[in-house]
């Protein structure tokens, strides 16, 4: 993809954050690694997704300098940068305040593996990262630690973040995490959800990744 196409994709998915109810207002943020790996593009701070134009998308390097763009980049730029530095396999990051997963994050509990499909998508349960104030290096460190080698993490008292090999995957992981969080919250109302055994999770994570989908 060209730089312009990446900017258009970021804007398109930003609008989808609102349409799909994963964020409201200017909440959440999106970033995509540059094809040549010489930095990343990120949404600007405090502009409604419906009003963001390609020139508002900011390009940054992995040291945190702005390479291109006149807007102030997302307040969570440290968090995005830290993840790109820690995870070479991640090419896109979506951070949201989606309601049900954020409800779990508000309790500072991890999201246990209670659904087979969840194990297939995320490879097991997801951690709730330790609390850090919005936009701080501390939050960035905590989120990298909580994410580990998974493609999703809860942010204590804040929201969630999902990663992927591309933007479609990172966004899809956020949607799937929210659907799963709804199930988990209702399961807690009906009774006590049964957490899958560690051995089953290990086996399914390897097995389903191999058997599921098209070859």
Residues marked active site are found at 76
Whole-angstrom Cα distance, residue 67 to residue 38? 10
Whole-angstrom Cα distance, residue 205 to residue 118? 9
Q: How far is the CB of 211 from Zn ion (least distance, A)?
A: 36
What letter does residue 26 receive in the DSSP assignment?
T
182 and 99 Cβ atoms separated by less than 8 Å: no
Ranges within 141-170 binding Zn ion (CB under 5 A): 159
Cβ atoms within 10 Å, residue 93:
28
Closer residue to Zn ion, CB minimum distance, 113 or 132: 132
Closer residue to Zn ion, CB minimum distance, 146 or 159: 159
Q: How far apart are the first and last CA of the chain?
A: 24
**Token pair 């969840």 is at which residue?**
118
Closer residue to Zn ion, CB minimum distance, 135 or 193: 135
Closer residue to Zn ion, CB minimum distance, 112 or 135: 135
Q: How far is the CB of 76 from Zn ion (least distance, A)?
A: 6
The per-residue b/e assignment along 155-164, b for 16 or more CB within 10 angstroms, e otherwise, is bbebbbbbbb
44: β partners: 73
Q: How far is the CB of 5 from Zn ion (least distance, A)?
A: 26
Ranges within 33-92 binding Zn ion (CB under 5 A): none
Q: How far is the CB of 28 from Zn ion (least distance, A)?
A: 6
Compute how many residues bind Zn ion; rule: CB under 5 A.
Answer: 1
| Dihedral pair phi/psi, residue 67, rounded to 5° | -95, -40
The contact set with Zn ion (CB under 5 A) reads 159
């Amino acid at each position: 993809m060209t730089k312009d196409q990446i900017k258009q994709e970021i804007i398109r998915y930003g609008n989808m954050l609102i349409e799909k109810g994963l964020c409201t207002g200017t909440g959440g943020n999106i970033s995509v690694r540059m094809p040549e790996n010489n930095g990343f593009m990120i949404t600007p701070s405090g502009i409604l997704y419906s009003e963001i134009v390609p020139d508002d998308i900011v390009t940054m390097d992995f040291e945190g300098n702005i390479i291109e763009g006149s807007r102030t980049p997302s307040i969570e730029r440290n968090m995005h940068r830290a993840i790109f530095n820690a995870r070479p396999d991640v090419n896109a990051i979506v951070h949201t305040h989606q309601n049900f997963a954020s409800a779990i994050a508000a309790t500072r509990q991890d999201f246990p593996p209670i659904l087979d499909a969840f194990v297939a998508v995320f490879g097991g349960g997801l951690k709730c990262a330790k609390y850090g104030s919005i936009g701080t290096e501390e939050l960035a460190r905590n989120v990298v630690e909580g994410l580990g080698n998974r493609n999703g993490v809860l942010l204590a008292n804040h929201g969630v973040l999902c990663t992927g090999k591309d933007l479609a995957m990172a966004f899809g992981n956020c949607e799937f995490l929210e659907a799963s969080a709804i199930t988990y919250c209702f399961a807690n109302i009906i009774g006590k959800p049964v957490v899958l055994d560690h051995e089953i999770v290990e086996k399914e994570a390897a097995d389903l990744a191999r058997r599921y989908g098209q070859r």
